Structure 1
Amino acid sequence: MKLSLGLKVANSLSLTPQLQQAIRLLQLSSLELEQEVQEQLELNPLLEKIEEQQQVPLDAVPQTTLEAETQIVSEQLNADHLPNDLPVDTQWDDIYTHQSTALERPEYEEREDNHSVTGSLKQHMLQQLQLLNLSSIEKIIAYCLVDALDERGYLEASLDEVLVSAQQLLLQYDPEAEQIELDEIKVVLKHLQRLEPVGVGATHLTECLKIQLDMLPIPTPYRDEALRLLGFEHLFIANDLNKLLKQSGLNAEQLKSAIRLLKTLAPYPGRQFNAQQDEYQIPDVVVTQKQGRWQVQLNPDIVPKLRVNPYYANMIRRADQSSDNQYLRQHMLEAKNFIKGIDERHKTLLKVASCIVAHQRRFLELGPEGMIPLVLRDIAEEVSLHESTVSRVTTNKYLLTPRGLFELKYFFSSHVATSSGGEISSTAIRAKIKKLIAEENPRKPLSDNAIANLLQQDGIDVARRTIAKYRESLHIPASSDRKVLI
């Protein structure tokens, strides 16, 4: 083998640190951005947060169309450029103050239904058990029972397993303690099942419902009939009302009223305390209607107001090559690039959100049935961005509309061709299916084939299996399970 030395020229693509940072900031959610800003504030002494800034009232902002507003914001951000070098006596407050890309006060109210239930089921049950007059051993048993509850509120461990756990825990505190009896476990379990919410600690659905019925006053109408129905759990779950009528001995009116009473009970009493609750989502963008026009603006509450610290900036000297001066220059550059990256993030987010709203005006006016087909490529071409950039900017970003809070990705959906040659969004089809089922006769529910025929009358050609797929995605049971005979 002969060794040789030569030159080779090749093209390669690399990302600068500034571009890498911009891409990373673009895909951060509002909560992640807040954490990133806080981290940068702690690491960079030349970066500081503006605590107070003069507010601009909404009434002072001229009314503009969506396209004009986006252009205005873009011009403001481009005007707030950061020069590479400046004389020492330059007013840094004027140049490096971050300009918010949002109108200052969006008109939306914090909704009460957006707040999650605080606390877990186990904490709630332990707090109630502390109020009971239990012995030391009973408290240990109660703790083991609560620890064995699943997210539904059901006891997922057997009583024998709880007995072993309680005995081991007791021996840690008292090595000479006597053996715990299974009857003691059952007694404490009875106390647990009658705490709020009633039914927690049941081992299966029938027991959970029975506990709740037993806690109702004896004169409660159709309480006894409902208890009798629980003896035919398999028929009740299968909605086989004909066999229920024959085997339960109830007449049609009694059966109907007993089922109605059972439906008022909580099949999974622990679900309201589910520890894995959805986090409260803060809107990144707000859309409101003013004088017949839809206006899009960033939520100013999540827009960080940053600037370069003027005190440290004025300490920098051009000709000074000392380590301290280089340290300040390096952090000044990092602060400047970070502010630029956040401005670019907000400008891109507002541009993409405005474009989405412009396409989905019918959704804002009519609801899901007005959703039109939209894909990432459509927005990317219109705002002159790459599809991957649009994907990043719409992930974990939320838009607050008069119809609720939606992730920006919600507004993208595939299309289905219509018989007239047009297109309709899959989201709109799901909304139509949901509406048809809501309006159906419960005695004669619509089959998937019947729904397909009704949609075909509206010019929407959808196969029966597609209807079934959309129906299942809406968590709507089949027609046989929706049928009500009485």
Structure 2
Amino acid sequence: MMKPGLQLKLSQQLTLTPQLQQSIRLLQLSTQDLQQELEQFMEMNPLLERADGFEQDGDQIPVASSDNTVSEGDSVAGDEWQVAGEALGELSWTAASGSSDDEESDWGQQTPEALSLRMHLLSQLGEVSLSERDQALAMLIIEALDDDGYLSASWDELAEMCPEDWCPEEDEWRTVLHHVQHFDPAGVGARHLAECLDLQLQRLTVSDTQKLAREIVCSHLDLLGARDYTKLKKRLGCDDDALRQAQSLIAGLDPKPGRPFSEEKAHYIVPDVIVIKEKGQWVAHLNAEAVPKVRVNQLYASILGRQRGGDGKGLQEQLQEARWMIKNIQQRFTTILRVTRAIVARQWKFFEYGEVGMSPLVLREIADELGLHESTVSRVTNQKYMMTPRGIFELKYFFGSRLDTDTGGACSATAIRALIKQLIQAEDANKPLSDSQLSDMLANQGVIVARRTVAKYREAMQIPPVNLRKAL
């Protein structure tokens, strides 16, 4: 029988302080989410305030200086980022941002609600002279339309929405639908694509081209989609010029007439960094507009500084939290700038020559160079944007897989996609290049890419296959 006893055991355990947890969390957020996070923090902590118009002091986030750098101060050091990354791995932190359905959020920036397709059609229905019964049936049809303006419900499904004693016949439904199909936008109320296009063609001036286009969309739309021009000309009994004009007319129609009424608001991107060329070198700077200008409220801080004992303990904690927030935001932008400058140094050929100059790059390379964990670099490059003379790009855009060339070098997947796009743009539209031909042409340039890889990249760029790129 064993006797009970005491044993002393030493062990190491990695813990993340609240400050470090907040630092990692802020690094994950996009610029817009960071602004929302700050607004929520300032609502709960009166010791942090906006610093616009104030002189800078020790408890304020430094705005980009002459060289657009921010000092690290006593914020989280790089080795702590490494330790935190190892502890967290690729754990995704959930960004606590304001809910989009919060009734009190952004109340001062609300805009009038856009006119919906339903309201647009109902306003036209009120101007048409119909019986009360037909008006009610038309409203049911309008309610059943999808976002693209199509009627996908069957007559039986529509009838189930009616009172039991109504029992509308199919001819009655067709008559009411005919009225709805005369509303704007042209093509609304169609039950399939061919009908949608034909409704739009019916509103155009009658001509030989219009008649040919109507015959195509009503009876031969599948051949037009497959670009089988030889069979189309044979069935229609027309020449190349007539078919080309009809095709151009059809291409100008809208296959989704209801979509403009359901478009989401555009989301504007505020770049975190700006890349410009200075004295022949590409240099990254912080975007001062993206750096929040916040500071500790000096009035409250001075009052707390004069207090002694346990009075104001809660405010003392809020003061410390406010200072942590400032330091962690400073650390966030310091890390973003460091990573961005490392990316620019590796990808300078992109800024000079475009996508074809993109070099293969993985997160591990930047992490090793800066002494960060790979997961930290992943967080930095997610939803952070760089403004360049070539456009605005997410930082993760500059990372891509490596493909070897026959000369022993390497080429990035982004550069290969750019080469494929250039070759297709320069092809003869009457004899477009197949994936095999594209693979051979890349091989002639020293880039060995299999046909199936070319097809994968082409599809990723949403470029149609060879048979759908053929023109008359």
What is residue 388 of structure 1 aligned with on the other side? 375
Q: Which runs of 5+ in 1 are unaligned?
A: 63-68, 82-117, 172-176
* Inter-partner Cα distance in structure 1 for 2:368 and 2:260: 44
User: Within the alignment, does 1:243 sit opposite 2:231 as a pair?
Assistant: yes
Q: How does 1:186-335 map to 2 (within 5 A)?
A: 186-219=174-207, 222-230=209-217, 231-275=219-263, 279-290=267-278, 292-316=280-304, 320-322=308-310, 324-335=311-322
Describe the superposition over 1:219-250 as per-residue Cα deviations: whole angstroms up to 9, x where unpaired: 4x510111111212222222222221222222
Counterpart contact for 1:151–1:275, Cα < 8 Å: no
Q: Secondary structure at the match of 1:462?
A: coil
Deviation at 1:272, TM superposition (A): 3.6
The code of the aligned residue for 1:144 comes to L
State the SS of the aligned residue for 1:399: strand
Q: How does 1:174-189 map to 2 (within 5 A)?
A: 180=168, 182-189=170-177
**Residue 388 (structure 2) aligns with:** 401
Deviation at 1:309? 1.2
Describe the shift of the 1:345–1:120 C-alpha distance in structure 2 as closer, same or farther (beyond 3 A): farther
**Residue deviations 1:83-125 (CA, integer Å, cap 9, x gap):** xxxxxxxxxxxxxxxxxxxxxxxxxxxxxxxxxxx84753563
| Displacement of 1:365 | 2.4
Q: Structure 1 residues 196 and 362 mapped into 2: Cα distance closer, same or farther (>3 Å)?
A: farther
State the alpha-carbon separation in 1 of the partners of residues 5 and 441 from structure 2.
Answer: 77
Contact 1:122 1:147 in 2 (8 A): no
Is 1:22–2:23 an aligned residue pair?
yes
- Within 5 Å, give how 1:41-80 maps onto structure 2: 41-53=42-54, 69=67, 73-75=69-71, 77-78=72-73
Q: 1:363 to 1:195 in 2, by over 3 A?
A: farther
1:287, distance to aligned residue in structure 2 (A):
2.2
CA contact (8 A) 1:121 1:153 kept: no
Q: 1:308 to 1:428 in 2, by over 3 A?
A: same
Aligned residue in 2 for 1:93? none
Q: Tell me, what secondary structure is at the counterpart of 1:73?
A: coil
Equivalent residue, structure 1, for 2:147: 151
Q: Are the counterparts in 1 of residues 213 and 246 from structure 2 also a CA contact under 8 Å?
A: yes
Cα 1:184–1:408, aligned 2, differ >3 Å: closer, same or farther? farther
Take 1:195 and 1:362, find their aligned partners in 2: how far apart are those partners?
Answer: 54
2:254, 2:273 → 1: CA distance? Answer: 37
1:432 matched to 2:419: yes
Q: Matched residues in 1 for 2:7 and 2:74: separation?
A: 48
Q: Is residue 435 of structure 2 the alignment partner of residue 448 of structure 1?
A: yes
Q: Check conservation: 1:418, 1:460, Cα contact below 8 A.
A: yes
Deviations 1:301-357 (A, max 9, x none): 3321111111211222577333x5101111111111111111111111111122222
1:20 alignment partner AA:
Q
Q: Percent identity?
A: 43
Distance 1:446 1:361, change over 3 A: same
Q: Is the 8 A contact 1:129 1:142 kept in 2?
A: no
Tell me whether 262-271 or 384-393 shows the greater mean CA deviation: 262-271
Alpha-carbon contact 2:155-2:170 (below 8 Å) kept: yes
- The letter for the 2-side match of 1:151 is D
Give TM-score, length-normalised by structure 1: 0.80
1:78 is matched by which residue type in structure 2? G
Does 2:468 correspond to 1:467? no
SS in 2 for 1:300: coil
Cα 1:371–1:54 change in 2 (3 A) is: farther
Contact 1:119–1:275 (Cα < 8 Å) also in 2? no
Distance 1:316 1:54 in 2: 21
SS of equivalent residue, structure 1 residue 162 = helix
- The structural deviation recorded for 1:400 is 1.8
| Structure 2 Cα separation of the partners of residues 387 and 36 of structure 1 | 25
SS at 1:307's partner residue? strand
Summarize the Cα distance change of 1:373–1:277 in structure 2 as closer, same or farther, 3 Å threshold: farther
Q: Which residue of structure 1 aligns with residue 408 of structure 2?
A: 421
Paired residue secondary structure (1:468): helix
In the TM superposition, residue 439 of structure 1 has moved relative to its aligned partner by 1.1
Find the residue that maps to 2:188 and give its secondary structure: coil
Q: 1:202 to 1:342 in 2, by over 3 A?
A: same
Structure 1 pair 354–361 and aligned structure 2 pair: CA distance change class (3 A): same
Question: Does the residue aligned with 2:49 lie in a helix, a strand or coil?
Answer: strand
User: Is residue 160 from structure 1 mapped to residue 156 from structure 2 by the alignment?
Assistant: yes
8 Å Cα contact 2:69/2:285 also seen in 1 = no
CA RMSD of aligned residues (A): 2.8
* TM-score under structure 2 length normalisation: 0.82
Output the amino acid matched with 1:122.
L
**Would you say the 8 A contact 1:418–1:459 is kept in 2?**
yes
Aligned to 2:357: 370
Task: Map Cα deviations across residues 114-173 of structure 1 (whole Å, 9 max, x no partner).
Answer: xxxx847535634653663365555544443333333333222223323433x25xx9xx
TM-aligned CA deviation for residue 253 of structure 1: 2.2
**Structure 1 residues 194 and 371: CA distance shift in structure 2, 3 A:** farther
Which of 117, 124, 127 aligns to 1:129? It is 124
